[in-house]
Amino acid sequence: MPRACTWASSSTAVAAPRSPSATSRISHRFAGSSKAATICDVSTGASGDYAIVVSHNLDNDATARASGDYAIIPSHNPDNGGPNPAQTHLVRAFRHSYCQAAGNVECRRHGDSDSDRQYKLFVFGDDYADTGNYPLADLSKTTRAWYYPYGSNDKDHGMSASGRFSNGLVLPDFIARILGLDESPPAERRREQDGVDPSGMNFAVGGAGVMEGTHEAPKLGTQVDKFRRLVRHGIIDKDLTDSVALIAFSGKRDYARVNDMTSSEINAMAQDVTDKIADAVEQLMDLGVEKVLVSTLPPIGCTPWLSRSSDYSSSCDSQKVASIHNAYLEEKVFKDAAVFNLDLTMMFKRLTSGSGSLSKKFKHKLEPCCEIFDQSEYCGQMEDGVAAYSLCSTPDKYFYWDDINPTHAGWKAVVKELEESIRNFL
């Protein structure tokens, strides 16, 4: 069994001398530690400093203090009193790296439990994660999430459209429930009207891309910039303890030309897209976000968007783009122990392949519940008062809702299968 270790007391943090060499002492302790070591997690002293206590062969932080096996890092920038991103990131990175290396060490803040934690969730992405950020306007392909049949099975929102790209709840809603919230934090678009919710904020916008976006659907970097400004201006609380970020993209905008791209062009695009995701993760963590969930690219070759031309054949190319994109994510993002691989690739395949118990959940695996009559049309489109789409009667039997987005039942099944891993990560 792993040995638990309590936090260092606040008096320890105050009494310990500040030293410019604190970072090197931490590096030295980490490099010289053994797997039998005990780590006392980060604590905050009255002075605002972070204290890390590492004890190699000791059972309590008092003995560790006496032996000098601890280090202090200032957590605030003396120039402006604000958080020092570089130093707080170092503390976090050290803690996660140490805990990951020491497999028999319990890495939990003293007194913490899932029941008494108050998580904050911040969401970034596209259709997969939008809960009402795309501006409401006349019905069009980009605004369709505000119109029937979107939301038509959403019991949580009056069986009506709420700006979500599905017939009910979407990915961040189910992630939020794991964190103890009722649903995704409110869309940023509602901030001026409703204020800032303590549960977090959703910046994702349908139609956005990682690399590209529009004024109405800003790209990932712009979404993160908006979050940064709100944190720096104190509109979002600068205390991001127990904060979790979700980055989820379908890939439809960035890889819109996939059928016309050469292998080298796909590779170059995947390099650029994953570079931007890695940059976003780093920026969020530098601001103080503690943990980040990043979705892999789903098997877009088998989404209705691209498999319709083959009559939703199970021989669709599930590896198209996704394998390249996800390999880069593994290299650039998932090696950080503070980042969770939200493996949509694996889960979509398991739930839509022809074999396995999970696939039995859905009778209709590749064809969408909301089916269009022509490739140029979209779910919800009306022509002279006549629907340009057909709607299934049993959406719970369909994994996909429209060209790219899962149904409420689809998203629920995906997150249910990932829930235990997510809880262990948190």
pLDDT tens-digit map of 318-369? 677 999 999 999 999 999 999 999 999 999 999 998 666 777 889 999 999 9
CATH number of 120-425: 3.40.50.1110
Q: Which of 87-101, 104-118, 165-179, 230-244 is least confident?
A: 87-101
Average pLDDT, the chain: 79
- Cα(37)–Cα(15) distance, rounded to whole angstroms? 24
Give the SS3 label for residue 117.
coil
Q: Tell me which H or E stretch contains 70.
A: strand 70-73
Residue 79 has pLDDT above 90, yes or no: no
Can you list the alpha helix ranges (DSSP code H) found in 288-318?
304-307
pTM over 0.85: no
Count CB-CB contacts under 10 A for residue 252.
Answer: 22
Note if the bond before 172 is cis, omega within 30 degrees. no
CATH 3.40.50.1110 segments of the chain: 120-425
- Cα(103)–Cα(348) distance, rounded to whole angstroms? 31
Can you list the alpha helix ranges (DSSP code H) found in 8-84?
10-15, 22-32, 61-67
Give the SS3 label for residue 295.
strand
| DSSP assigned state of 81 | S
**Ranked by mean pLDDT, which of 51-55, 234-238, 329-333 comes out on top?**
329-333
Q: What is the pLDDT of residues 9-48, one digit of tens each?
A: 332 332 233 332 333 333 333 333 332 333 344 444 444 4
Query: Measured at the alpha carbon of residue 234, what is the angle toward residues 230 and 236, in degrees to the nearest 5?
Result: 55
Nearest to 175 by CA among 118, 123, 220, 116: 123
Q: Tell me which H or E stretch contains 266.
A: helix 263-287
pLDDT above 70 as % of the chain: 72
Are 339 and 281 contacting, i.e. CB atoms less than 8 angstroms apart?
yes
Residue 235 has pLDDT above 70, yes or no: yes
Contacts of 243 (CB under 8 A, 6+ apart): 119, 120, 121, 122, 200, 288, 289, 290, 291
